[in-house]
Amino acid sequence: MVKRMVIMLIAVGAVLGALYGFQVFKAGIIQKVMAEIANPAETISTTSAELTEWKETIAAVGTLKAANGADLALQTSGIVDAIDFQSGDAVEEGQVLLKLAADEDVAKLESLRATADNLAVTLRRDQEQLKIKAVSQATVDSDAANLKNAQALVSQQMALLEQKTLRAPFSGKLGIRSVDLGQFLAAGTTIVTLQALDQLFVDMYLPQKNISQLKVGQPLEMTVDAYPGRTFTGTLTAVNAKVDSATRNVLVRASVENRDGSLLPGMFGKVNIAVGASRSLITLPQTAVVYNPYGSLVFVVDKSDAAEGAEKTVRQSFIKTGPTRGDNIAIIDGVSPGDEVVTAGQIKLSNGSRVLIDNSHVPPAEDAPVVVDQ
């Protein structure tokens, strides 16, 4: 009888224990499901942290200027008599471009030359007369002075006549002419621009803190909006001898080759001046970095979750950032090569958040991004 009661008590205890365990298990399952419903896995995008060669550069925006460039004009007024060029022509140094009407000046030059020739004859005759004492030395000296004065007037008139002819001061490419045949041209009116395009200068302003890093001969790369994806190379040629006291910036000039004439004076370019040796650094898209008052951080996907299927967890990692280049930023500390780092969706995350990775719509991070109109 006692034995039977013991067995019954054990059976009842087993049943009650099983019921309690089932209730605890069911509560745990429900709690887990409710937690998953309340805090679902967030969808994010990631990238792999990789080592890349990074050369320290100074970025600036510069304005292109021709090594030789001028708006051509005449220093005298007159009627345009001949135009010997077309807009956009390539011209050589000394080539005649335009002439003003100069009939009156030519006639006056001929008159002055005739006077000078006559005075030269008079001087020679009086010099012969002086040999036989027929005239005085004073007469010969006066003749010589008169001849020199006449010759000076001829040279003066020739200079005035030359001022009515426009010549190319150097070889280059002409712009669009702004005068017409028969037009009255006032002194100083711009006729056409002439630019030597084989080599251009790039003028840019840099903060005074960069002066110690700048040296003549340093290589640089430049991009312009007119030619997306194309890089122009050049060298630093000069650093201004003073710093602007108003802005504390220094003017820097570089030289850029332009053999094909693609670049034009007046364009602006984005310049990167190489100032340091190349080194290997971990780079990430700038969108991966979360900036906070207490420090910058990234979210790293936990590698131990690799076997858990689609869902993974992330952890916060505080980092030390370096220089930026286009869409990318160098990471000095806090991330190891090969780490999978979150690049989009961080605003929804905290330490230990569950995530789903979707990299199907991730734009590339470029060192020299180009804006494309759509």
Q: Tens of pLDDT along the chain (374 residues)? A: 656 666 776 766 666 666 656 555 555 555 554 444 446 778 888 888 888 887 778 889 999 999 889 999 999 999 999 999 999 999 999 999 999 998 888 899 899 999 999 989 988 988 888 888 888 888 888 889 998 998 999 999 898 888 999 999 999 999 999 999 999 999 999 999 999 988 899 999 999 999 998 999 999 999 999 998 899 999 999 999 999 999 999 999 999 988 888 999 999 999 988 887 778 888 899 888 998 888 899 999 987 765 455 688 889 999 998 888 778 888 999 888 988 999 888 888 888 888 888 887 777 766 655 555 55
The DSSP-derived string for 103-142 is: HHHHHHHHHHHHHHHHHHHHHHHHHHHHHTTSS-HHHHHH
Residue 12 has what pLDDT? 61
How far is Cα 90 from Cα 88, in angstroms, rounded to an integer? 7
Query: Is residue 8 helix, strand or coil?
Result: helix
Place of tokens 């190319």: 168
Contacts of 24 (CB under 8 A, 6+ apart): none
Residue 328 has what pLDDT? 87
**E strand residue ranges, 50-115:** 50-73, 78-83, 90-91, 96-100
How far is Cα 84 from Cα 72, in angstroms, rounded to an integer? 14
Residue 35 has what pLDDT? 45
Residue 293 has what pLDDT? 85
Stated pTM of the model = 0.61
Residue 143, classified by CB atoms within 10 Å of its CB into exposed (0-12), middle (13-18) or buried (19+), is buried
Q: Which two tokens stand for residue 178?
A: 């702004």
List, in order of start, the domains of the chain with CATH numbers. 39-53+279-357 (2.40.420.20), 58-66+197-278 (2.40.30.170), 78-100+165-188 (2.40.50.100), 102-163 (1.10.287)
